[in-house]
């Protein structure tokens, strides 16, 4: 009865899907575009928002070590992503890879999980964007009322309580703008992203270069603050928990693989985009986290705009840098929202094309040739969460969703080596099965370090997904219906 839950799509079928004349997505992206898309997504919330939160609540100055641990896990998973993307040039990222290796039900789990990664990710970053915009306007005497720029709900160690705010309007606004841009076209979106990446990398280099001279070495002591007696609150357990929290910051290289059907040469350029963007961003993350915790004591960094706070505390010498940093952060976070919304809409599009979601999600705009319905739906839901919920809660949901996807992709490479040993691979993950096994273990270890409440929310989310799959997706699955028709014939 449940045997058809594990129907797989063959590599040949996926090739046909990618090259079909019915493919309505246009191929505009080259290796540079893909690398910059990755950098555009990775360099954002991790540097401009979560660095401060992770340092203040979990790791202290050792948040730099947390970024190294996360980068190591990402590198291992990234090598697996690179092999998959060189073989399967279809949008959908880990969802499509799971379909090819472990079957439809596992693919559904990954696809539903990716919604946590991209949908909640875009909402998280939008909240961070709102924090920097509010701070930027305040520098010019323009004060946005707290009722319109903060989350109405707060979630902390005391549980849920109301903040008194009505809605985080700036967060809703930026999602609306990016959604509109994505509906207009992928080529225009990529051009916008390229410009933004140049701006924010320049700003980050300015912060590192001028911030070094304002480092107070005393702020690095103790480098790993003593554990408070609670797992995850400083000490080495805090470093590991912080690594799991900031893992969200690396989601950009994963998003590159969702654009395979819009890449000019996906088998060559997508692996390059994944690995190059990961390398560039890791170096920048470590440098920024060291400078940030050196300028200002980590205890004060649990804010939505930590780099802005650090610049403000540096004194008159860096007054000129304040607006530049904030403009860079605002621009940078804009591109992160863009890429995450892009990734989510493409995952929805691919799942709908396979019959697992409603037909309307697989439609493309007659003029712009973009999946406009999935893009608009994604934008509306992301705006809802960004307008109402706090950044810490959203960030944890994104991290656990990302880590689960990476675990499954790592295991998938081992399976694919057994099931498709002769398939042509533009890139091969080295040292299989050692690299994918280690990647899965590192990612799962970080999942295990996340709070139990985050696990409960993940399980609840998955249960909702199972209901949708068994009531709609399984009945309308193209692969299942094709198998059924072949058996009849």
The first and second tokens of residue 37, run together, are 């898309």
Summarize the chain as % helix, strand, coil (round to 5): 75, 0, 20
Identify whether the C-beta of residue 199 lies closer than 8 Å to the C-beta of residue 328: yes
Helix axes 104-139, 391-419, angle to 10 degrees: 150
Q: How far apart are CA 462 and CA 459, in angstroms?
A: 5
Alpha helices (H) in 43-168, listed in sequence order: 45, 51-54, 63-87, 94-101, 104-139
* Tally of CA atoms within 13 A in the half-sphere of 148 that contains its CB: 8
> Mind listing the pLDDT tens digit of every residue in the chain (489 residues)?
566 778 887 777 776 666 553 455 666 677 788 888 788 777 776 677 778 888 998 999 999 999 998 888 888 888 888 888 777 766 666 788 788 888 899 889 888 888 877 888 888 889 888 888 988 888 888 999 989 888 888 766 566 777 788 999 999 999 999 999 888 876 677 777 788 888 888 888 999 999 998 999 999 999 999 998 888 889 999 998 888 778 767 766 667 776 666 777 777 787 888 888 888 888 898 999 999 999 999 999 987 678 878 888 887 788 888 888 888 888 888 888 888 888 888 888 888 888 998 888 888 877 877 788 988 999 999 999 889 887 666 666 777 877 888 888 899 899 889 888 888 887 788 999 999 999 999 888 878 877 788 888 889 989 999 999 999 999 899 888 887 777 655
Q: Mention every residue, 6+ apart, whose C-beta is less than 8 A from residue 183.
A: 365, 368, 370, 372, 375, 376
Question: If DSSP codes are grouped into helix, strand and coil, which group holds residue 149?
Answer: strand
Residue 159 has a pLDDT of: 65
Torsion of the alpha carbons at 242, 245, 249 and 255, rounded to the nearest 10: 140
Residue 161's H or E segment, with its range, is strand 159-162
The first and second tokens of residue 207, run together, are 């912060």
Q: How far apart are CA 299 and CA 411, in angstroms?
A: 39
Residue 286's H or E segment, with its range, is helix 266-295
Q: What is the DSSP string of 333-366?
A: HHHHHHHHHHHHHHHHHHHHHTTSS-GGGG---T
Alpha helices (H) in 366-472, listed in sequence order: 372-388, 391-419, 434-448, 452-468
Please give the CATH topology (third level) of the domain spanning 3-488: Amino acid/polyamine transporter I (1.20.1740)
Q: What pTM does this model have?
A: 0.78
Q: How far apart are CA 302 and CA 279, in angstroms?
A: 27
Alpha helices (H) in 296-320, listed in sequence order: 306-313
> What separation in angstroms does the CA of 262 have from each of 336, 339, 365, 423?
18, 14, 15, 23
Q: How far apart are CA 396 and CA 451, in angstroms?
A: 9
Q: How far apart are CA 257 and CA 93, in angstroms?
A: 5
Identify whether the C-beta of residue 82 lies closer than 8 Å to the C-beta of residue 274: yes
Residue 173 has a pLDDT of: 95
Dihedral sign from CA coordinates of 123, 155, 223, 218: positive
Identify whether the C-beta of residue 469 lies closer than 8 Å to the C-beta of residue 356: yes
Q: What is the DSSP secondary structure assignment for residue 263, as one 8-state letter?
A: B
Tell me the helices (H) and strands (E) count for the chain, helix number first: 20, 2
Nearest Cα residue to 386 out of 117, 41, 126: 126
Residue with token string 């805090």: 238
Question: If DSSP codes are grouped into helix, strand and coil, which group holds residue 153?
Answer: strand
* Tally of CA atoms within 13 A in the half-sphere of 165 that contains its CB: 21
What are the domain boundaries of the chain? 3-488
Dihedral sign from CA coordinates of 98, 100, 106, 109: positive
């Amino acid at each position: 009865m449940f045997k058809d839950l594990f129907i797989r799509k063959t590599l040949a079928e996926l090739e046909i899907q990618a090259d079909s004349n019915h493919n309505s997505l246009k191929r505009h992206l080259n290796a540079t575009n893909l690398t910059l898309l990755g950098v555009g997504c990775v360099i954002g919330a991790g540097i401009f928002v979560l660095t401060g939160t992770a340092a203040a609540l979990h790791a202290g100055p050792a948040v730099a070590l947390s970024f190294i641990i996360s980068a190591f896990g990402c590198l291992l998973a990234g090598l697996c992503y690179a092999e998959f993307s060189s073989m399967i040039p279809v949008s959908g990222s880990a969802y499509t890879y799971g379909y090819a290796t472990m079957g439809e039900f596992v693919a559904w789990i990954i696809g539903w999980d990716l919604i946590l990664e991209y949908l909640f990710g875009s909402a998280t970053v939008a909240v961070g964007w709102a924090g920097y915009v509010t701070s930027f306007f305040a520098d010019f005497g323009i004060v946005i009322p707290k009722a319109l720029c903060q989350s109405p709900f707060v979630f902390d160690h005391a549980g849920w309580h109301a903040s008194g705010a009505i809605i985080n309007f700036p967060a809703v606004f930026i999602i609306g703008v990016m959604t509109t841009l994505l509906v207009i076209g992928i080529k225009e979106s990529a051009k916008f992203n390229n410009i933004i990446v140049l701006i924010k990398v320049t700003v980050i280099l300015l912060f590192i270069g001028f911030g070094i001279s304002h480092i107070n070495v005393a702020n690095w002591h103790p480098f790993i603050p003593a554990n408070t007696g609670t797992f995850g609150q400083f000490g080495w357990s805090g470093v590991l928990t912080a690594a799991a929290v900031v893992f969200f910051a690396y989601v950009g290289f994963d998003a590159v693989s969702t654009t395979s059907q819009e890449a000019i040469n996906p088998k060559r350029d997508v692996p390059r985009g994944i690995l190059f963007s990961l390398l560039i961003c890791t170096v920048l993350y470590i440098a920024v986290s060291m400078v940030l915790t050196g300028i200002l004591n980590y205890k004060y960094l649990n804010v939505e705009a930590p780099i802005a706070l650090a610049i403000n505390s540096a004194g008159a010498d860096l007054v000129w840098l304040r607006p530049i940093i904030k403009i860079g952060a605002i621009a940078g976070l804009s591109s992160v929202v863009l890429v995450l919304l892009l990734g989510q809409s493409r995952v929805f599009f691919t799942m709908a094309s396979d019959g697992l979601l409603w037909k309307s999600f697989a439609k493309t705009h007659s003029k712009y040739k973009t999946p406009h319905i999935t893009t608009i739906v994604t934008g509306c839901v992301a705006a809802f969460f960004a307008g109402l919920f706090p950044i810490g809660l959203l960030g944890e949901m994104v991290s656990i969703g990302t880590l689960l996807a990476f675990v499954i992709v790592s295991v998938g490479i081992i399976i694919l080596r057994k099931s498709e040993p002769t398939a042509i691979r533009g890139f091969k993950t080295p040292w299989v099965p050692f690299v994918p096994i280690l990647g899965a273990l590192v990612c799962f270890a970080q999942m295990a370090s996340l709070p139990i409440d985050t696990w409960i929310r993940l399980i609840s989310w998955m249960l909702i997904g199972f209901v949708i799959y068994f009531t709609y997706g399984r009945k309308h699955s193209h692969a299942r219906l094709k198998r059924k028709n072949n058996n009849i014939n």
